[in-house]
Amino acid sequence: MKELQYLNKYFLKYKYSFLIGIVTTIIAQIFSLFTPKLISKSFKAIEDFSQKVDTNPTIIQKELIHNILLIIATTIIAGFLTFLMRQTLIVMSRHIEFDLKNEVFRQYENLSQNFYKQNRTGDLMNRISEDVGKVRMYVGPAVMYTINTFIRFTIVIIYMYNVSPRLTLYALLPLPFLSFAIFKLSSEINTRSTIFQQYLSKISSFTQEVFSGIRVIKAYSLEQQYQNNLVDLSEESKTKSLHLAKVQSLFGPLMLALIGVSNLVVIYFGGMMYINGTIHSIGTIAEFILYINMLTWPVASLGWVSSMVQEAEASQKRINEFLKIQPDIQNNTADKSEIEGSIEFKNVSFVYDDTHIKALSDISFSINKGETLAILGKTGAGKSSILSLISRLYDVTSGEIIIDGKNIKNVNLYDLRNSISIVPQDAFLFSDSIKNNIKFGKENASDLEVENAAKQAVVHDNIIQFNKEYETVLGERGITISGGQKQRISIARALIKESPILLLDDCLSAVDTETEETILNNLLLSCKDKTTIIVSHRVSSAKNADKIIIIEGGKIIQQGSHNQLINEKGYYSELYLKQLSEKELS
């Protein structure tokens, strides 16, 4: 139960609903216990009537009708209160589920890039859906039935003891065996439940990767191989599920058998006590049988509740593993930070934690507010790493990054990222309308602003050719449009945000040179007051830049303006020349 202690804060948050549920349960149980008493009283009245010949039958008839009406009334009240109990406690569990899912999702948002490199998407999805669902069953039905069982046991045993302490002792004799059986089975359920949840995560991760890469699988004609792999995983998961179900299935029959034994005990010992004159009415035996049967469902539910608790504990343990992780990137200040856009790298080196690859080595450069910097270099030179450090997706290994005269670690993280528009190398679009994808950069943007941003990104003409134009819904990750269109929509999304810093990470690689020229000219006009960094392997992307740095192997090998990188004979320097493609040279 140690892992489930994490949920205590939610019980405190909804303490009033919790307390109302408990009070309602107590009152409901009290009303439900009127029935055995009234039935016992009716039996006694019938028994007394049979022993007195001169008794008026009308009197006994009225008493029985009176008792029957009371039984109906108390049963209806108990049923209504039970309904309120369920409404209170089950609704509370839905609120807790909502809060817990939001907490897990916020933690996912806060965790760094390294976390997502080390964990699979399917497993993350399983923890926020399946595992949180298991936890809800604990905070809802499990807690409700536990409270219900405890209160009913307490009240019923008190009633039974007041009627006959000796018969109560006989009736409760099977309970120690019940407790031992629950303890043994619960331990086994906990172990098997954890294993089963792990296999569910494996299946989720596998299927998510297959669906994401379905085009590659089809291209290589590997459908049958992956289908066989899924069948193997499913078979293993089914085996673990059956192992769990076999243990869980023992609870119901075991509980009912023990209740049946209690009934037999009550009938035998109660009958002997009635014959010996220890109890004076046959109605007492009937009352005890009803009490025992009232305990049937609570006792039987102990197995179900125990199973839910064990599964919830296993699930909460998996959730806690992520909730306890401290994000690598921390917001070190709560003060607001006004970002203007000047950036300086001072002897920055950076090593990726997961691969230990040294991406940058002793990098130094500066860019003033409103200037444009072009970073050129071959694939793997470290260009994208520079952009990741500016947006603090990673922190530097050594050296420092200065934003507007302050160390980037002392700038409010959320203000920093909110002041940056970035177009990633791998353009990602959501399965939503084109308009909403562009408005992702600015939710309250008007249709005119969306259209203007699309025009600046030279994608407007493509969009209006679609049947639904800007209302066209894209496939998952923008799969229904071309790579060049995805890149240009991503550029429009960045431009509409109107941030003081614009980062373009090789985002024109999938467009032709003519379209690239138009986009760059549009950027020159629309981003003249913005600090712009363009990462590219094309020199043509750098011709309008105020500053250019050439990077190779994580080091700056040359930097200057476009003109400075041309030698005195009017030709490009040798290092700059290496960055030119044959097409650009011609």
The enclosing H or E element of 359 equals strand 358-367
Q: What is the pLDDT of residue 272?
A: 84
Q: What is the pLDDT of residue 568?
A: 40
The enclosing H or E element of 431 equals none
Read off φ and ψ for residue 302, nearest 5 degrees.
-60, -40
As a residue count, the chain comes to 586
Give residue-wise pLDDT tens across range 136-145.
888 888 888 8
Across 41-68, average pLDDT = 73
pLDDT top residue among 577 and 547: 547
Instruction: Retrieve residue 356's tokens.
Output: 């230990």
Q: What is the mean pLDDT of the chain?
A: 79
**How does DSSP classify residue 433?**
B
H-assigned helices in 362-412: 383-390
8 A C-beta contact, residue 302 and residue 142: no
User: By mean pLDDT, which of 55-59, 223-227, 277-281 is the weakest?
Assistant: 55-59
Read off φ and ψ for residue 538, nearest 5 degrees.
-100, 130
Distance (Å, rounded) from C-alpha 404 to C-alpha 424? 24
Burial of 415 (0-12, 13-18, 19+ CB in 10 A): middle
8 A C-beta contact, residue 560 and residue 548: yes
Distance (Å, rounded) from C-alpha 438 to C-alpha 470? 9
Give residue-wise pLDDT tens across range 484-521.
788 888 888 888 887 888 888 877 776 777 777 787 77
Across 524-532, average pLDDT = 79
Which of 357-371 are b and which e, b meaning 16 or more Cβ less than 10 Å from the residue's Cβ?
A: eebbbebebebeebb
| CA neighbor of 317 nearest in space, from 129, 131, 92 | 131
Q: In what order do the strands lie in the sheet with 398-403?
A: 358-367, 343-351, 398-403, 406-407
Is the pLDDT confidence value at 569 over 70?
no
Q: For the chain, give the percent of residues with pLDDT over 90.
A: 0
Is the pLDDT confidence value at 584 over 50?
no
The enclosing H or E element of 407 equals strand 406-407
8 A C-beta contact, residue 151 and residue 24: no
8 A C-beta contact, residue 303 and residue 188: no
User: By mean pLDDT, which of 18-27, 303-312, 456-465 is the weakest?
Assistant: 303-312
In 487-541, DSSP assigns E strands to 501-505, 531-536
Q: What are the CA-CA distances from residue 63 to residues 43, 58, 71, 335, 347 (Å)?
A: 11, 9, 12, 77, 97
pLDDT category at 476 given cuts 50, 70, 90 is low
Amino acid at 517: E
Q: What is the pLDDT of residue 574?
A: 53
Q: For the chain, give the percent of residues with pLDDT over 70.
A: 89
Distance (Å, rounded) from C-alpha 241 to C-alpha 234? 10
| CA neighbor of 311 nearest in space, from 138, 556, 463 | 138
8 A C-beta contact, residue 442 and residue 498: yes
pLDDT category at 477 given cuts 50, 70, 90 is low
pLDDT category at 300 given cuts 50, 70, 90 is low
User: By mean pLDDT, which of 44-53, 120-129, 196-205, 451-460 is the weakest?
Assistant: 44-53
Give residue-wise pLDDT tens across range 220-247.
787 888 888 888 888 888 888 888 887 7
Distance (Å, rounded) from C-alpha 576 to C-alpha 565? 7
Distance (Å, rounded) from C-alpha 274 to C-alpha 562? 110
Distance (Å, rounded) from C-alpha 192 to C-alpha 241? 8
Instruction: Retrieve residue 380's tokens.
Output: 């793997």
Distance (Å, rounded) from C-alpha 26 to C-alpha 32? 10
Q: DSSP string spanning 540-582?
A: GGGTT-SEEEEEETTEEEEEE-TTTTB-TTSSB-HHHHTT--H
Across 18-44, average pLDDT = 82
Strand partners, 551: 556
Read off φ and ψ for residue 445, nearest 5 degrees.
-65, 145
Give residue-wise pLDDT tens across range 313-351.
888 888 887 888 887 778 877 778 788 888 888 888 888
| CA neighbor of 549 nearest in space, from 370, 406, 387 | 387
Give residue-wise pLDDT tens across range 423-454.
887 777 887 788 888 888 777 878 888 888 88
Q: DSSP string spanning 280-323?
A: --HHHHHHHHHHHHHTHHHHHHHHHHHHHHHHHHHHHHHHHHHH
Q: What is the pLDDT of residue 314?
A: 80
Instruction: Specify the 3-state DSSP secondary structure of 397.
Output: coil
Instruction: Retrieve residue 482's tokens.
Output: 């071309």
Give residue-wise pLDDT tens across range 362-417.
888 888 888 888 888 877 788 888 888 888 888 888 888 888 888 888 888 888 88
Burial of 434 (0-12, 13-18, 19+ CB in 10 A): buried
Distance (Å, rounded) from C-alpha 252 to C-alpha 246? 11
Across 167-175, average pLDDT = 78
Q: In what order do the strands lie in the sheet with 547-552?
A: 420-423, 501-505, 531-536, 372-376, 547-552, 555-560
Amino acid at 151: I
